[in-house]
Amino acid sequence: MDWKKNLRIYNPFDANNFNVSLISTPRGVFCIYDDRTGSATGKKNFLFNATTRQWDQLPLTGNEGNYYSRTCGIAYDSKRDRILNFNSGANNGNYPIYTYEYSFGTGVGQAITATNTDITKWNPEVREALYIPELDKVLFQVQYNGEHIVFNCATNAWETLAISGYPVPLGYQNASAIMYDPKRHLVWLSDYFCNIYVARLTPLTTEVPELNATTASLLTSPNPFSSQANITVSGLTDVKNATLQVFNIQGKLVADLTDQLPNKNITFNAYGLSEGLYLVRLNTGNNFITKKINYKK
C-alpha cells in the first residue's frame, strides 16, 4: 500500500463548496453534496468507482434533507444499505434533529419520523456520527445529561447510552473524530484537546478497556450538594502531572482545582453556578477518573 502523490481525479462538484462529506461503504466511497442554493438539483450523491477512478453520480429522487457540513452528520446503516443524514442546522434548543435516509437500493431519499426527539433539542451540532453494527445504532459524540445520544436504527428512536470513563461531554468541536474497529469491537474517539478514548461496545456490555492501570481513587460527598462538595483524592502517585477539574454537563470548564491536589481533601464551591449536573475529572497522568455530582441550591 502506497500513498499516491499528485494523483488527479476529476471532481464532479464545486471544490470551493465545503458542504461535502465522504463516508466509506461496501459499495465504495459515498459523497453527499449540497450547493446550499435550496434547489433540488443542488443536492447530489456520488459514488467513487475504484476501477475507473471516477465519481459516478447516483440516482436521487425524493428528499434526503439539506446538508451542511458543520451541523450535519452522516452514517452508513449496513443492515439496511442506506445512508442516514442527521440535520441539526436549525437547532437552537427548540427544534429536534431532523433525520433523513437515502436508499442505495431504490435511489430514494425521504424523511424519517423519529421518536423521543426531545433529547436531541439542545445538541447544536452532530457531525461525528458512527454506525455500530453490533448495536444497530448510530453513536454520536455529543451527550445528553452525561450520556451519549444514539439513534436506534431498528425502531427509528432516539436514545441515550451510558459509557463510563469519558471525562468531558463534548458538543461541536473542530478537532474531534470518532471511528470503529469492527475486528476488536472498539470505538475510538478523539476530542478537541487531542485526548484519545476507547470503548468496547457490544449488545450485552458497554465498557472501557483498562489501557493504563491506576491506583488512584476519587470520592465526592455529599451528593446532591447545596453549596460545597467535598472531594477526596487518594492513591495519587504522580501529583506533578495530575489535574483535577470540574465541568458542567455541556463540557465547559467551571473550576480548576489542580493547585489543591497535594491535599487529599479538597472543597469545590459552586457559588455563582446554576443548579444541575457537574463532572469532577481527575487526570492521574495516565488515566482519567470521573464522578458526577448534582448541585441543588
> Which 3-state string (H, E, C) describes 198-238?
EEEECCCCEECCCCCCCCCEEEEECCCECCEEEEEEECCCC
Rounded mean pLDDT for each run of 10 residues along the chain, 297 residues in total: 67 68 89 76 84 87 75 89 83 71 92 88 74 88 79 92 62 68 81 74 48 66 91 84 83 87 88 89 75 88
> Can you read off the three cell numbers belonging to residue 267?
472543597
User: What is the pLDDT at residue 104?
Assistant: 92
Q: What pLDDT was estimated at residue 143?
A: 75
Query: 20-207, which class in CATH?
Result: mainly beta
pLDDT score of 225: 92
Q: In terms of Cα–Cα distance, which of 23, 290, 244 is closest to 146?
A: 290
Question: What is the pLDDT at residue 80?
Answer: 93
| Preceding omega of 167 cis (within 30 degrees of 0) | no
Q: Which three cell numbers stand for residue 100?
A: 433523513
Residue-range domain boundaries for the chain: 20-207, 217-295
Encode the chain in three state secondary structure: CCCCCCCCCCCCCCCCCCCEEEEEECCEEEEEEECCCCCHHHEEEEEEECCCCEEEECCCEECCCCCCCCCEEEEEECCCCEEEEEECCCCCCCCCCEEEEEECCCCEEEEECCECHHHHCCCCCCCCEEEECCCCEEEEEEEECCEEEEEECCCCEEEEECCCCCCCCCCCCCCCEEEEECCCCEEEEECCCCCEEEEEECCCCEECCCCCCCCCEEEEECCCECCEEEEEEECCCCCCCCEEEEEECCCCEEEECHHHCCCCEEEEECCCCCCEEEEEEEECCCCEEEEEEEECC
Work out the angle at residue 50's Cα, subtended by the Cα atoms of residues 46 and 51, and round it to the nearest 5 degrees: 120
- Which CATH architecture best describes the domain 217-295? Sandwich (2.60)
pTM over 0.85: no
Which whole-number Å values give the CA distances from 76 to 27, 40, 101, 183, in the listed order? 11, 22, 10, 18
Q: Do domains 20-207 and 217-295 have the same CATH topology?
A: no
Sort strands 206-207 and 228-234 into parallel, antiparallel or unpaired: unpaired
Task: Report the alpha-carbon distance of residue 251 to residue 255 in Å, rounded.
Answer: 12
Query: Cβ(8)–Cβ(54) under 8 Å?
Result: no
